[in-house]
Structure 1
Amino acid sequence: MLSKKTQYAFKALMYLAEKKDEGPVLIAEISKKKKIPLKFLENILLELRKGGVLDSKKGKGGGYFFAVPPSTVYLAKIMRMMEGPIALLPCVSLNFYERCKNCDESFCGLNRVMSDVRDASLGILEKRTVADIAGI
């Protein structure tokens, strides 16, 4: 299940994608239009900026905007930035692998099933972009 943080990140990114040709967008506007708590949104947008997805401009006419085209921002990247691993078990994560406690991975049927789930999810999330979900 996606966390509220990730859901809000996607909502904000979709809004920014729709407004991409209009210049920087104020945080307050995104918060109001998408019904995202302002303080929560500030932290999300800051993470997206640090991750190279967004950029910002201060002062009059300032706000947030895409640092790269929305068509190059894959959903898997955003999910990893917001939540960490996409895999449901740490022992099958590609980027955040951790051995499960008290488990022998060579005999774990759950491990094999969750690897398939991870691969199926990534097959979609690594091909779809913010532009896709924004319908632009």
Structure 2
Amino acid sequence: MKATRPLEYVCFFPISVPTKEGDAYVFLSVDVFSDFAFNTGVETNDDPENILKHIYLLTEHPYFTKHIKAGFTLVLHKYKGLEPRINSIIKPLNGNVLFDGQYVNKVMVPVLKNIFRHTDKPL
């Protein structure tokens, strides 16, 4: 899938980051067209309520609201069981949901590599 406009495809992916207190989940999304990365926050788990919360927060982001009129497709690697609840958030905003783990990995791996390549350098 090749994006031809902003928000045509937006990949959503929580990243598990180990901490001394346990895993933290950084909620990231990437607009495939522009490579714009959204960070909607960090949580101590990726339970269904947090997934839905961060999908909602994504739709409230200024970049997202600027381009939302043309519609969007939210691409997730899992959470198919949440599809009706996800649709209740995004359908009123002209959004669709697609579950495609391979596509999410293809988009997110370069983003994550870019983020983590800076972690081994001194500040």
Give the TM-score, by structure 1 length. Answer: 0.28
Say which structure, 1 or 2, has more relative contact order (CA 8 Å, 6+ apart): 1
Task: Return the structure number with greater helix share.
Answer: 1
The structure with the largest alpha-carbon Rg is 1
Greater fraction strand: 2
